[in-house]
Structures are given as C-alpha cells and as structure tokens.
Amino acid sequence: MNFKCFIFSVIFFSLIFIFINNFYLIKSNPFNLTVNNYFEKKQEKEKEKEKENPKGILIYLVPPFEQEINELINSARQLEKNYGHFNFSVAILEENLSKEQKKRILKQFKRNVTFIDVARFFDSRKYDKIPKRVCVSPKGYYMMCRFFFFEIWKLEELKQYKYYFRIDSDAYIQSKINFDLFELMKKENLTLAYSFIEQDNRCTLKIDALVRKYFEKFKNIGKKIILNKKSFTNGNMDVITRYLYNSNFEIVNMDFFRNSVEFKNFQDEVEKSNGIFEYRCGDHILKTLFIHMYANENDLKCIGDLINVIHIESVSSCSKVTIHW
C-alpha cells in the first residue's frame, strides 16, 4: 500500500511540475501559441531581423555648431525620404551637443538613433603646432581625419557592427536608392563601396616619403606590394594623385581594418611621422593607400552611377573625377 502511494505521489507531483513549467512558457507567449511554435517563431524573427540588417549602422559625425547641425538636419530629411524604406539604425557621433540640439536631430529620424560621445578624440591641444603650408585647413579638419583613420575602429558602441555607412552632414541623397547598401556589402563581400573619385594633388605633401618608410620597415610586405600593384611600380605614386576614394558617402567593412595587423603597422608609421598634420593626409587618402596595398580589386565597388548624392561641389560618379587644388 505504501509503495502504491509513493508511485502515485511521484506521478502526481511530476504532472504538477510539467503543468506549471508549461503554463509559464505558454503565458509568456503573446500569441498563445504552443511552446514549440513559440520558440520556432522566435528563431524565425531573429533570422529575419539579421537578414534585414546585416550588422551595419549609419553614422554621422557632428560638432556642436549650428551650421553643421542644420546641414545634418537637411541631410537626415533627404536620407529618410530617399533611403528610409530600408531597415537600419543611426549613430550620431557627437561632440558635446546640448539636449536641445539632440532633440532637434532626433525629430528628423523615423528609426532608432544612438548618440555616441566622441569629444575626447577631438582635444587638439597637443597638436597646436600645425606647420604653415600651401594648403591650410581648419584644426577641426585635421582632428576629423585623425578620428576616422585612428579612432573609429576602437569605439565600443560600434564593435557589434561589421559595416558602417558614413554620410557627412553636408552630403545629400537627391533621389531614391532602391537597393540595400548593407545587403550589397554582404552579398558581394565588399571592403568598400564608394561614390566619389577625387584628386588632391597640391594639398597632399610628401606622402610618397611616408609610404617609402613603411616599405623599408616592412620589406617583405613592401616588395610584394610593389611587384603586384602597378600604382607603386618604380615609385610611381599616381594612386595618390589620380584615384582617391572620397569618404563623404561610403560603406566600409570595418573588420578589414580593425582585424588587420598590417593596418596597425601602417597606423603606427603614420603616427610616428605625424603624417596627418605634417603631410596633410586626409583619412580618405590614407585609407585609399592601405586599400590599394592590401585589398583585391573585386573587394571594391563604385556605386556613384547607381545613386544620386551631392557633397559641396562633388556629384556621385564612377567616371568623373573631382579635382581639389
């Protein structure tokens, strides 16, 4: 009799346990599905979400100046109008914006927007001594170039993303873009999608000396590059003067840079030479150099003829070259 009672008790309490466990699982299901269907549905949603946004984020960099904030507001309106039908998040990389300025910016977007404080990267006091030269840019320009070449890869808030889609606050999408730029990067396994080509002859000084130093230090790498890249044959640096990938509207595979030992070595040489300030090396110039040294031609794609974007005097194009003297 006692044994039968024991068996009955075990079965009874086991059923109670199963019922309670399933009750809470089913209760947490907002559509009152079966437990199995609930988890299957959840997995499908996660896969769909990943498909919609393959680990990419759109970024703007903006200082607390009214002109640039107004430019960003106009750019954001054009972005939402002509690209807002796709799923993506936005990060505003900001330098001490006020609450009121942030509110004005937020009103322009119809999606998730995160503000990331990057003011610490724009303390220019240790770079106060900028040499006099033929082409003088505002100090903020040098710091911006330094940020996009050295610092952006380190941001904790961006580490979950593989791609960034950068739009300068004064770049404007003029007409509908009918394809997902992040999906394009993922599908074609691209390192860079760019929209402008430019020359920057007069303002890019002594860049060949910087590259030669890099080659001399890493001789095996350098010889391989010189042999395989026509742009560098016999010291010809026409990659710098003829074909720069403008960074005002670009989609970048961050893993290509932040996971690269070669890129860290190249950054070290640029830092030692004070190349951004001494040679006026823009981030687009330095990235173009590194891409020509280490990326394959199939890793790059010009989208300038597939979209309609303007930036100051430049119009997106894969054939027309904007010349900066």
pLDDT tens-digit map of 28-62? 555 544 545 644 554 555 445 544 455 899 999 99
* Residue 198 banded pLDDT, cuts 50, 70, 90: confident
Helix (H) or strand (E) holding 270: helix 261-273
Distance, CA of 209 to CA of 279 (rounded, Å): 10
Distance, CA of 301 to CA of 106 (rounded, Å): 31
Percent of the chain residues topping a pLDDT of 70: 68
Phi, psi of 112 (to 5 degrees): -70, 130
pLDDT score recorded for residue 45: 55
Residue with tokens 């890493």: 218
Phi, psi of 150 (to 5 degrees): -105, -40
Residue 16 shares a structural domain with residue 149:
no
Between strands 197-199 and 244-245, the pairing is antiparallel
Residue 142 shares a structural domain with residue 265:
yes
Residue 301 shares a structural domain with residue 240:
yes
Residue 115 has pLDDT above 60, yes or no: yes
Q: For residue 18, what are the domain limits?
A: 2-46
Residue 94 shares a structural domain with residue 129:
yes
CA 278 from chain centre, in angstroms, equals 26
pLDDT score recorded for residue 167: 96
Residue 190 shares a structural domain with residue 313:
yes
> What CATH number is attached to the domain comprising 242?
3.90.550.10
Residue 161 shares a structural domain with residue 26:
no
DSSP characters over 29-60? -TT---HHHHHHHHHHHHHHHHHHS-SEEEEE
Residue 189 shares a structural domain with residue 221:
yes
Count of structural domains, the chain? 2
Distance, CA of 228 to CA of 293 (rounded, Å): 9
Residue 82 shares a structural domain with residue 166:
yes
Residue 67 shares a structural domain with residue 173:
yes
pLDDT tens-digit map of 300-311? 999 999 999 988
Q: Are 166 and 247 in contact (CB under 8 A)?
A: yes
Q: Are 97 and 62 in contact (CB under 8 A)?
A: yes
pLDDT tens-digit map of 97-111? 999 999 999 999 999
Poorest-pLDDT segment among 132-141, 144-153, 313-322 = 132-141
Residue 22 shares a structural domain with residue 76:
no
Residue 123 shares a structural domain with residue 31:
no
Q: Are 115 and 102 in contact (CB under 8 A)?
A: yes
Residue 161 shares a structural domain with residue 310:
yes
* Residue 19 banded pLDDT, cuts 50, 70, 90: low
pLDDT score recorded for residue 223: 44
Distance, CA of 321 to CA of 221 (rounded, Å): 30
Distances from the Cα of 104 to the Cα of 75, 155, 172, 255, angstroms: 13, 25, 18, 33
pLDDT score recorded for residue 1: 53
Residue 325 has pLDDT above 50, yes or no: no
